[in-house]
Amino acid sequence: MATPIPSDLRRLVAERARYRCEYCLLPQTMALHRHEPDHIVPIQHGGVTEAINLALACLRCNRYKGPNVGSFDPLTGLLVPLFHPRLQSWDQHFHVVGAEIRPLTPEGRVTVLVLRLNDPDRLAERQRLIEARLYW
Ligand SMILES: [Zn+2]
């Protein structure tokens, strides 16, 4: 069962992220479902419900991430941790080309893969937001 996250902690996480998903950068105002605090290191892997271990995530990023903490780098085959929004900078691990989120590092590659950041429907949505100047 999910650990309840106190409302003040939820607010802190959302404000700190400026109401954008910390993985795909989707603004909360453009999402159908409310963004959620994601346990970066899931409870089942020893993660705690504290600000340092929480990131704001859109519904899709949160669902695809699930209890994952890493995956195999498609380039090297090595086991690599997912991007960590509290310890790492988004700009150092990803960049946006067109509507595509392109990874710059092994952590970026496994995060794009596991969180399906460039699924066709997500690319189409991001393209519409870019054209409306609502993304970035
Ligand atoms: Zn997202």
21 alpha carbon to ligand 1 midpoint, in Å? 5
Q: Residue 48 falls within a domain, yes or no?
A: yes
Q: Residue 15 falls within a domain, yes or no?
A: yes
Closest CA relative to residue 3, chosen from 33, 43, 40: 43
pLDDT tens digits along 95-109: 999 999 999 999 999
The per-residue pLDDT for 3 is 65
- pTM for the model stands at 0.95
Q: Residue 81 falls within a domain, yes or no?
A: yes
Structural domain of 105: 7-131
Q: Which residues surround ligand 1, an ion (CB under 5 A)?
A: 21, 23-24, 26, 58, 61
**In a 10 Å sphere around its CB, with 0-12 CB exposed, 13-18 middle and 19+ buried, how is residue 31 labelled?**
middle
Q: Residue 1 falls within a domain, yes or no?
A: no
Residues 23, 27: Cα–Cα separation, whole Å: 11
Number of domains in the chain: 1
Would the pLDDT of 34 be above 70? yes
Q: Residue 136 falls within a domain, yes or no?
A: no
